Structure 1
Amino acid sequence: MTTERNGVGAELRHWRAVRRISQLELANLAGTTQRHLSFIESGRSRPGRAVVIRLAESLGLSLRERNDLLTTAGYAPVFTESGLDEVALRPVRAALGQILHGHLPYPALIVAPYGRVVAANDAVEVFTEDASPELLRPPVNMLRLMLHPEGMAPRVRNLSEWGRHVIENLRARARRSPDPRLDDFVAELAGYVPQAPVGPEHLGFSVPVRLASADGELRLITMLTSFATATDITLAELHLEAFLPADQATAELLRIRAERHRTGGTATVAWPG
């Protein structure tokens, strides 16, 4: 019985527990038998590379997690991880820059794991207004900027309600892909959000953030977009966070701010490298 067999079996049991899925359910999803899966988990059978990939896909693992499972099973990783500044991703960077520019005069960002901003358009200046310079040093962490008492938080009129929504989304992500680093980050952010009782009118879904600005209150809703078919870990872990006006008054204020802060009509793209 090899270490690799023991390792991959334990990992499969771990992920089944996290996903709350039975051996039979996973076996059916992966196109194998419960008996075979049982043998793999107990270390009595070494899964082939294709079987490991099917199991990882059926468990809904991220590309990084799939690579880790393959490594544990004794196979080489199959998904690449490119640097954002590499030539191979130049067309992707250009396309994302066009998306950011096209979303003006509304704010939009490209965000990496743990809230790290890798690109943004000019309209995100609405989030940095009066923020501490410490929070604006690259690489900027958008989640920390939004909830920190020296960032956006003092200007968020519904911080307890909106901040709770942000925290719960992160906790759901941590439950789906357990990560001590993410747990620590969530604990930090939760410490910035004031507690508030859940009243009878609580609806339990996203509400617009009510953000005070020098031009008046803005009401913004968020749209998240990810690369669902990416086969590169870097791309798969990025998402576009686009903010939209929740009312006509906000749309007009953002238009006015864009005119005032015009910098030549191009999106600011802060790609690393």
Structure 2
Amino acid sequence: MNDEWNRMRTSGSLAAQDSFGNVLRDWRRRRRMSQLDLSCDADVGKKHLSLLESGRSRPARSMVLHLAECLDVPLRVRNTMLVAAGYAPAYQQRNFLVPDMAVARRNVELVLAGHDPFPAMAVDRHWMMISANKAVANLVTGAEPMLLRPPVNLLRLCLHPAGLACRIVNLVEWRAHITARLRREIDTTGDAGLVDLLEEIRDYPSPPGGQPARAAAAPHTVAMPFQLVTIDGTLSFFNTTTRFSTPMDITLSELAIEAFLPADPHTAAVLRRDAQRCQAPETYVPASANHWVAATA
């Protein structure tokens, strides 16, 4: 298992000074492609690809970007590939609060507000909350204050014993889902920070009486719900993820909107009732230069 974590931690998070050929080879293998597969997809000669990987040929800037696109390499790593090949980075990483991000930020806020009265939040590549709508406050009620101090990590908040874990009815199922999702994200991005987060989550204990994972879903179930015990009974949610499809900024490319939509009429009714009780205007308060948290008056 340690060997697996070491591979996950180092693979794809290569330092900028590593050779372009090594970075290219690593990502080709990460995508489970042979040199022939990539040469066909990229319309590049297999011999030329071999020379690039061995360092015996220097790629043009356009070739670096072309191969990165064919391998669906994250923008952050595309910059690494360019630097390794001797070129300047192509993609900026702007702070979410700078004027250049105003339009994107407003669109994120519109999406979050549009989900009200259902909880929704924007998170970065390490699941740190950047922004959230009013309904999230009801979702996180009862969590320890230390987990709600910015920057708030959504997965830590959900699965930490001092967070929502003791209230999640199907905790074992949900944690297995999160673990599998993190593994896929690590495989896709090669992000060492996600490896650290996965290791942390794996070390969390299960609360007494945790419900074992079901062997199969009930016949009427169309997706695995997130089930949370509240003073209004068990609320059941379906989780959806929304991303920008054509980002040209690293921050925007790594941003995701996680929404929790009602999985049954009872949950929808409770959330709508709670929203009617609190008609305070939604506000977004900058918690730091990099993270926002939702607040209610």
Q: TM-score, normalised by structure 2?
A: 0.85
- Identify the match of residue 184 of structure 2 among 154, 172, 181: 172
Aligned position for 1:120: 132
- Identify the match of residue 230 of structure 1 among 227, 233, 247: 247
2:86 equivalent to 1:86: no
Alpha-carbon RMSD across the aligned residues, in angstroms, is: 2.1
Fraction of identical pairs, as percent? 41
Matched-pair contact (CA < 8 Å) for 2:119–2:260: yes
Aligned position for 2:216: 201
Unpaired runs of at least 5, structure 1: none
Secondary structure at the counterpart of residue 114 of structure 1: coil
CA drift at 1:227 = 1.0
Going from structure 1 to structure 2, the CA distance change for 1:128 and 1:6 (only over 3 Å counts) comes to closer
1:21 partner amino acid: M
Unpaired runs of at least 5, structure 2: 1-15, 290-297
Aligned position for 2:8: none
Aligned position for 1:97: 109
1:39 partner amino acid: L
Distance 1:269 1:227 in 2: 23
Distance 2:140 2:175 in 1: 17
Secondary structure at the counterpart of residue 237 of structure 2: strand
Aligned position for 1:186: 198
1:132 partner amino acid: E
Distance 1:37 1:128 in 2: 51
**Stretch moving more, 205-214 or 217-226:** 205-214
CA drift at 1:177 = 2.3
Q: TM-score, normalised by structure 1?
A: 0.92
Secondary structure at the counterpart of residue 261 of structure 2: strand
Going from structure 1 to structure 2, the CA distance change for 1:189 and 1:68 (only over 3 Å counts) comes to same
CA drift at 1:197 = 6.5
Distance 1:142 1:123 in 2: 15
2:236 partner amino acid: R
- Identify the match of residue 269 of structure 2 among 233, 242, 252: 252
1:9 partner amino acid: G
Going from structure 1 to structure 2, the CA distance change for 1:198 and 1:94 (only over 3 Å counts) comes to closer
Distance 1:6 1:155 in 2: 46
CA drift at 1:180 = 2.8
1:184 partner amino acid: D
Secondary structure at the counterpart of residue 219 of structure 1: strand
CA drift at 1:192 = 2.0
- Of Structure 1 and Structure 2, the greater helix share is in 1
Matched-pair contact (CA < 8 Å) for 1:157–1:212: yes
2:120 equivalent to 1:108: yes
1:126 partner amino acid: N
CA drift at 1:261 = 3.0
2:20 partner amino acid: V
Going from structure 1 to structure 2, the CA distance change for 1:93 and 1:30 (only over 3 Å counts) comes to same
Secondary structure at the counterpart of residue 126 of structure 2: helix
- Per-residue Cα deviation, 1:102-153 (whole angstroms, up to 9, x for no partner): 1110001010111100100000012321110100001111110000010011
- Identify the match of residue 161 of structure 1 among 173, 178, 198: 173
Going from structure 1 to structure 2, the CA distance change for 1:272 and 1:98 (only over 3 Å counts) comes to farther
Distance 2:60 2:33 in 1: 21
2:240 partner amino acid: M
Matched-pair contact (CA < 8 Å) for 2:173–2:214: no
Distance 1:239 1:232 in 2: 14
Distance 1:262 1:248 in 2: 22
Matched-pair contact (CA < 8 Å) for 2:93–2:251: yes
Aligned position for 1:25: 37
2:216 partner amino acid: E
2:23 partner amino acid: E
Aligned position for 2:68: 56
> Any residues of structure 2 matched to 1:128-147 within 5 Å, and which?
128-147=140-159
Aligned residues: 268
2:142 partner amino acid: D
CA drift at 1:79 = 0.8
